[in-house]
Structure 1
Amino acid sequence: MGCDGGTIPRRDELVRIKKKPEQKDKDAELAFRWRHCTIKQLPLQQPIVACGLGKLYSKEAVIEGLLDRTILPESAVHIKNLKDVKSLNLTPNPVYDDNKAEKGDGYVDGGRSPYICPIIGLEMNGKYKFCFLWTCGCVMSERALKHVKSTICHSCQTPYEPSDVVIMNADGDDLIHMQENIVARKANKKSKKRAVTEEQTGDDVKSEINLKKKIKKEEKVTSSNAHKPSTSNDNRNEPQDPAFRKAKETYSVAKDPNASEVLKSIFTSHKSAEEQTRAHWITYNPFYN
Structure 2
Amino acid sequence: MGCDGGTIPKRHELVKAPKKVEKVDKNAELAAKWKYCALSQEKLRRPIVSCELGRLYNKDTIIEYLLDKSAERPNAEAVAHIRGIKDIKELNLTDNPEWEGERRNSKGDRYEDIHCGMFICPVVGLEMNGKHRFCYLKSCGCVFSDRAMKEVKTEICHKCGDPFKDEDIVVLNGSKEEVEKLREKMEERRSKAKARKSKKSKAAETVSTPSESKDDTQSPQVDAAGRSSLQNGDESSQSAVAGPSGSSSSSKGTKSSTTSATTKRSIQDMEERSETFKSLFTTHSSAKRTKEQTSNWVTHTPYHF
162 and 14 in structure 1: CA distance in 2 versus 1, 3 angstrom threshold:
same
Write out the 4+ residue segments of structure 1 that deviate beyond 3 Å after TM superposition: 101-105, 183-194
Matched, 1:88 2:82: no
TM (norm. structure 1) is 0.60
Q: Is the 1:152–1:158 contact (alpha carbons within 8 Å) kept by the matching residues of 2?
A: yes
Matched, 1:132 2:150: no
> 1:23 aligns to what?
23
**Structure 1 residue matching 2:49: 3-state secondary structure:** strand
How far apart are residue 166 of structure 1 and its match? 0.5
Which of 179, 186, 193 is equivalent to 2:183? Answer: 179
> 1:39 aligns to what?
39
Q: Is the 1:130–1:142 contact (alpha carbons within 8 Å) kept by the matching residues of 2?
A: yes
Q: Is the 1:164–1:181 contact (alpha carbons within 8 Å) kept by the matching residues of 2?
A: no
Residue 93 of structure 2 aligns with an amino acid whose one-letter code is: L
The whole-number CA distance in structure 1 between the counterparts of 2:151 and 2:194 is 31
**Structure 2 residue matching 1:49: 3-state secondary structure:** strand
Gaps of at least 5 residues in structure 2 are 1-5, 199-305
How far apart are residue 76 of structure 1 and its match? 0.6
> 1:142 aligns to what?
146
Q: Is the 1:119–1:140 contact (alpha carbons within 8 Å) kept by the matching residues of 2?
A: yes
Superposition map of 1:1-289 within 5 A: 1-3=6-8, 11-69=11-69, 70-72=71-73, 73-98=76-101, 99-183=103-187, 185-186=189-190
Q: Is the 1:163–1:185 contact (alpha carbons within 8 Å) kept by the matching residues of 2?
A: no
56 and 177 in structure 1: CA distance in 2 versus 1, 3 angstrom threshold:
same
The whole-number CA distance in structure 1 between the counterparts of 2:186 and 2:96 is 30
**Structure 1 residue matching 2:100: 3-state secondary structure:** coil
Q: Could you list the per-position Cα deviations for residues 78-114 of structure 1 after superposition, in whole angstroms to 9, with x for gaps in the alignment? A: 1111101000000000011122244434211011001
140 and 89 in structure 1: CA distance in 2 versus 1, 3 angstrom threshold:
same
The whole-number CA distance in structure 2 between the counterparts of 1:186 and 1:156 is 28
How far apart are residue 18 of structure 1 and its match? 2.7
**Structure 1 residue matching 2:60: 3-state secondary structure:** helix
Residue 137 of structure 1 aligns with an amino acid whose one-letter code is: G
**Structure 2 residue matching 1:121: 3-state secondary structure:** coil
140 and 187 in structure 1: CA distance in 2 versus 1, 3 angstrom threshold:
farther
**Structure 1 residue matching 2:44: 3-state secondary structure:** coil
How far apart are residue 19 of structure 1 and its match? 2.3
Task: Give the total of aligned pairs.
Answer: 194
Residue 18 of structure 1 aligns with an amino acid whose one-letter code is: P
The whole-number CA distance in structure 1 between the counterparts of 2:119 and 2:196 is 35
More helix by proportion, 1 or 2?
2
Residue 20 of structure 1 aligns with an amino acid whose one-letter code is: K
TM (norm. structure 2) is 0.57
124 and 155 in structure 1: CA distance in 2 versus 1, 3 angstrom threshold:
same
The whole-number CA distance in structure 2 between the counterparts of 1:26 and 1:147 is 28
> 1:249 aligns to what?
none
179 and 27 in structure 1: CA distance in 2 versus 1, 3 angstrom threshold:
same
101 and 53 in structure 1: CA distance in 2 versus 1, 3 angstrom threshold:
farther
The whole-number CA distance in structure 1 between the counterparts of 2:197 and 2:160 is 25
